[in-house]
Amino acid sequence: MQFKLIIKPKPGATAKTEILIECYWSRRYRSIGTGVYVEPQYWDESKSLVTTKHPQCSTVNNLLKTKLHDLEKTAYKYEETPGAVFDFNVLKTISLGKDKQKFCDFIADCMKKEPDLELNSVTKYRGNIELIRAVLGEITVDKVTEKEIEKLDAAFHKKYADSTVARLHIFTQKYLKEAIKQRIIRNNPYDLVRLQKFRAEPKNTFHTIAELEALEAIPDLPFLIASIRDRYLYSCYTGLRISDNLALLKTQLTESKEGYVIDLHTIKGYGSDLIHPLGLMFDGAPERIARRWINAHNEPTLFPKVSREYIRTTLTVLAAMTKPEPIAKHLTFHVARHTCASLLADISQNPYLIMNILGHKDIKTSMSYIHASPEGTKKQFRNLTDWKDKAR
């Protein structure tokens, strides 16, 4: 079977049209969708690719080539079996498309690709899937529209408290966003509905310097509890996600004239390269933590291996142990990332530095991690000398 990228716009059409993969076998043709849409004027029919005039031509062409290569690879692999013929019946079986996959099955498939999910999280997520299935039935991914979201919201509010409804909506939207990333659907149906705000911005999403010092000052901690405290502080100073924190290897630390430097590729989402000059960050605070643990145990990871559940439980205990008074905030690695961003904002006022340290692709995302502190605001005004001359 032969494959070719084509586009079939309607006569005179200027709106985006889906690029198709044309399949030829036994003097017959079939077409399957790629989920990629472009305006007809950007399509080069002779090369079967998007022209260089398209603002994202490299990204789109690489995606199309990958899809074409994957289909060709599937066909060749199928025909490795003696007597097997990759015909249109086989093509139909494999090319129904994830958009035709049941939404709840799609969530389950995505969960299988999340290696850091613990058993209790898997159990909770499976329960969430069944709650969604009870309302939406066997609806496919492409059929999840704003009406289905409104139906879910109404059903959830009949049975559950607002906090549970919020959790279920966050869970549902997480996998709809994943469907958009995979180009299975184009728009997030949550953008088209008005629901009761289900993800209020927490008031306490970052730590003050005094709180970090209080955590550092807790005396005489047992080995593992001390590792959790230092692991958490390390993320407060570097903005590292818990998944990357757990996977951080000693071999990823290299010596330089200015101290340790971390070079790693993030796990979450598409992943991005992070360079953290630990010796230069916050007067070397993360480097001092790293040096405490690099030779403290024999495991390949920087910090001793523990479960996420143990980390969550221990962080609650540590918050209660701080003096002169307990920290009245939930200690989570998301709060740690917000802390790093807010501290960097106070020090540098450089949003691109924050974006690079946190590993974000979009600077708008980084801006949502920044929180103004009273101390930071006062500091900025102290630096505003000769303001009349600067304002002219």
Prediction pTM value: 0.53
d(C-alpha 357, C-alpha 241), whole Å = 11
Contacts of 338 (CB under 8 A, 6+ apart): 205, 206, 369, 371
- Residue 204 has a pLDDT of 57
d(C-alpha 242, C-alpha 159), whole Å = 33
Q: Is the pLDDT of residue 70 over 70?
A: yes
Q: Tens digit of pLDDT for each residue in 196-220? A: 655 544 555 899 999 999 999 999 9
Q: Tens digit of pLDDT for each residue in 278-312? A: 999 999 999 999 999 999 999 999 999 999 889 99
Q: Is 78 exposed, middle or buried (0-12, 13-18, 19+ CB in 10 A)?
A: middle
- The 3-state DSSP class for residue 19 equals strand
- Residue 341 has a pLDDT of 92
Pick from 20-24, 176-180, 192-196, 307-311: least confident: 192-196
Structural domains for the chain: 2-95 (no CATH), 99-192 (1.10.150.130), 209-382 (1.10.443.10)
Q: Is the distance from CB of 193 to CB of 169 less than 8 angstroms?
A: no
Q: Tens digit of pLDDT for each residue in 216-237? A: 999 999 999 999 999 999 999 9
- Residue 300 has a pLDDT of 94
- Residue 305 has a pLDDT of 93
The residue-averaged pLDDT of 237-250 equals 92
Q: Is the distance from CB of 195 to CB of 275 less than 8 angstroms?
A: no
User: Which residues on neighbouring strands pair with residue 273, listed in sequence order?
Assistant: 265
CA gyration radius, the chain? 26
- Stronger pLDDT, 101 or 308, i.e. the higher one: 308
Q: Is the pLDDT of residue 333 over 70?
A: yes
d(C-alpha 31, C-alpha 19), whole Å = 10
User: Which residues on neighbouring strands pair with residue 4, listed in sequence order?
Assistant: 22
Q: Tens digit of pLDDT for each residue in 123-178? A: 889 999 999 999 999 888 888 988 999 999 999 989 888 878 888 998 999 999 88
Q: Read off φ and ψ for residue 241, nearest 5 degrees.
A: -65, 160
- Residue 200 has a pLDDT of 45
The residue-averaged pLDDT of 5-21 equals 81
Pick from 82-91, 196-205, 232-241, 364-373: least confident: 196-205
Q: Is the distance from CB of 302 to CB of 290 less than 8 angstroms?
A: yes
Q: Is the pLDDT of residue 83 over 50?
A: yes
